Amino acid sequence: MSGKETKDGYDVIAGRLDERGVDVESVKEAIKSFEVEVPSWVFGEFGGGRFGGYLPPGPAPDSRAKFEDAALVHQLTGACPNVAIHLGWDKPDGVDFADIRAEHFGDLRDFAHERGLGIGAVNPTLFLEGTHHGSLSAPDASTRQLMIDHCKVACEVAREYAGGLVTYWLPDGSLYPGQRGLWHQEKLVRDGLAEIYEAASDSVVHLIEYKLFEPGTYSTVLSDYGVALDIARSLGDRAGVLVDMGHHAWGVNVAQIVARLVGLGVRGGLHFNSRYAADDDHAVEPGREVYAIFCELAGADAVINPDESAGWAYMIDQCSSLEKRIPAVLHTIDSLQVSLAKALILDRDRLEQMQDANDVIGANRVFLDAFLTDVRPLVEAAREEQGLPADPVAAFAAGGYQERIERERGA
C-alpha cells in the first residue's frame, strides 16, 4: 500500500471503530506491546530431509548467526526481544551433549544482550542423544538419568541466563501396540518431570507441550492437552500447558482448548504455526483459527498481562522446507499482529447480546465482522508510530540482508 492509501485506509477504519466506541489508541498500544519469541532453531539447519536435503538459502551456521537473524527480525518488528533456545542445538561447538552445563550459555546471553535481545524459553533437547526408544521414559535407566540431568541444566539456564521459562517437548511414544507398556511409560515420564520440577528453583516456570503423534506412530505419551494438564497440576503451580497449534488432529477446535485453559486459570503458552502437514512447519496466516484463539486470549486478559501467572507465553515454532526463513517469520509476526488487532476490535457487548438472544447466525456475524475487517492500516500505523517499517516483509526484501547471508553463508 502507498503512504496515501494507508493514511486513507487508517482514517476510514479508525473513524468507523471510533463511532462504534472502540478505543483505537489502546488497540494500537496493544499491538505495540505484544511480544512473541522467535525460536533460534528456525534460522538454522533444521527440518528438511526431503528434496535431496534442500535447505532455504542462507541458513545460520551457528547460534550466534541465529541470534543475528533474530536481531534483524526484532529490529524490523519491535515484537521479538527474546529468542527461544534449544540446549542441544545452541550449546557451544565441541561440547558433548552429556557435558552441557548452564555456564555454557553465559556467552550466548551476553551476545544476545549486545544486540538488544535476551534468551527466552529454554528447551531441553530430548530427541537427540540415544532417545530413539524414549527420553524420560527410555527403557534403560542411564538414558533416563541423562535426560533428567539435561532438563535440570535447562532449568538452571532458564534461571541464570534467561527469563525463567522451560518448555518441554518429549519424543516418547511407541510404533506398535505391545512395544511398550503404555501406563508404565507414562509413569516414567511423570516421575522424571516430578524430579526435574522438584529440583528446579522457585523462579522457574515449566510448560509441558503435547503432540498428537510423531515420532510415535502408535502411541505418544504426551498426546493431548488432557495429559499435559494433569501432569502440570500434579507438579504444582509453576507448571502449565504449552499448546502448539500444529499438534492436533484435523478438526480439533484449538480455540476451545485455549478457552478452557485460560478459563481454568492454567498457566499457558502458545507455539504459533500453521498445520498443513499434520505438524507445525508452516508460517502463520491471518486466518480464522488464530483469530478465534486471540479472541479467547484477549477475552481472558491473557495477551499482555504483566502478571506472569495470568499472561501466557507466546512463541513462534515453525520451520520451512522451501520458503526463506526470515520472511516466513516476519510473515507470521505480521499475521499475529493482524489477528490480535481483529480480536481487540470484536464487539463483545453486541456478541453477548446475540448470544443471550440465542441468535446463532447473528452471533456468528458479529464474530466475523471483526475478522473480516481490514485492520492492516491500524497495524501499520502502530508500527510507524514506533519508527518501524509499515510492512516488515517488504522492508526485509528491500534491505539486502537475504542477499548478504546467501553470499556469506552459502546456500
| Three-state secondary-structure class, residue 241 | strand
Beta carbon nearer to Mn ion, 244 or 334: 244
d(CA 320, CA 282): 6
- Which segments of 168-304 does DSSP mark as H helices, in order? 182-199, 225-235, 254-263, 288-299
For 264, residues 6+ apart whose C-beta sits below 8 A from its C-beta are none
The site partner of 123 among Mn ion, ligand PSV, none (C-beta below 5 to 8 Å per kind) is: ligand PSV
Count of residues that interact with ligand PSV, criterion CB under 6 A: 8
Q: What, of ligand PSV, Mn ion, none, does residue 325 touch, CB below 5 to 8 Å by kind?
A: none
Look at residues 294, 300, 391 and name the one whose alpha carbon lies nearest to residue 341: 294
Residue 211 partner contact from ligand PSV, Mn ion, none using kind-dependent CB cut-offs of 5 to 8 Å: ligand PSV
Q: Burial of 122 by CB count in 10 Å (0-12 exposed, 13-18 middle, 19+ buried)? A: buried
Cell of 54: 534442500
Give the x/- contact pattern for Mn ion in 361-390, rule: CB under 5 A: ------------------------------
Helix (H, G, I), strand (E, B) or coil at 33: helix
Q: In three state form, how does the secondary structure of 150-176 look?
A: HHHHHHHHHHHHECCEEEECCCCEECC
Q: Which of residues 260-279 bind Mn ion (CB under 5 A)?
A: 271
Q: Could you tell me the three cell numbers for 257?
A: 482448548
Q: Between 376-385 and 3-19, two packed helices, what is the crossing angle to 10 degrees? A: 110
The answer to whether residue 391 forms part of the interface with ligand PSV (CB under 6 A) is no
Alpha-helical segments (H) within 271-359: 288-299, 325-345, 348-356
Stretch 290-329: interaction string toward Mn ion, x if CB under 5 A: ---------------------------x------------
Q: Does 90 bind ligand PSV (CB under 6 A)?
A: no
Angstrom distance (rounded) from CA 359 to CA 339? 25
CB of 289 to Mn ion, least distance (A): 16
Residue 209 interacts with ligand PSV (CB under 6 A)? yes
The site string for ligand PSV over 241-260 (x = CB under 6 A, - otherwise) reads ---x----------------
Residue among 224, 293, 232, 315 at smallest CA distance from 266: 232
Q: Using the rule CB under 6 A, which residue among 248, 271, 282, 331 binds ligand PSV?
A: 271
Query: Among residues 172 and 209, whose Cβ is nearest to ligand PSV?
Result: 209
Question: What's the min distance (Å) between Cβ of 360 and ligand PSV?
Answer: 36
315, 268 contact by CB (below 8 A): no
Q: How far apart are CA 44 and CA 65, in angstroms?
A: 8
- What distance in Å separates the CA atoms of residue 101 and residue 97, rounded to the nearest whole number? 9
- Asked if 281 touches Mn ion (CB under 5 A), the answer is no
Q: Which does 238 bind (CB under 5 to 8 A by kind): Mn ion, ligand PSV, none?
A: none
Min separation Cβ 94 and Mn ion, Å? 28
Q: Report, in Å, the least distance between residue 313 CB and ligand PSV.
A: 12
In the complex, the smallest distance separating the C-beta of residue 283 from ligand PSV, rounded to whole angstroms, is: 14
CB of 74 vs ligand PSV, minimal distance in Å: 20
Residue nearest to ligand PSV as judged by C-beta position: 169
If the CB atoms of residues 271 and 376 are measured against Mn ion, the closer one turns out to be 271
The residue type of 364 is N
CB of 368 to Mn ion, least distance (A): 29
Select the residue interacting with ligand PSV from 169, 291, 294, 401 (CB under 6 A). 169
State the pairing for strand pair 205-209/219-220: unpaired
Distance CA 88, CA 94 (A): 12
123 binds ligand PSV (CB under 6 A): yes
| Binding positions for Mn ion, rule: CB under 5 A | 244, 271, 317
| Binding positions for ligand PSV, rule: CB under 6 A | 123, 169, 209, 211, 244, 271, 280, 317
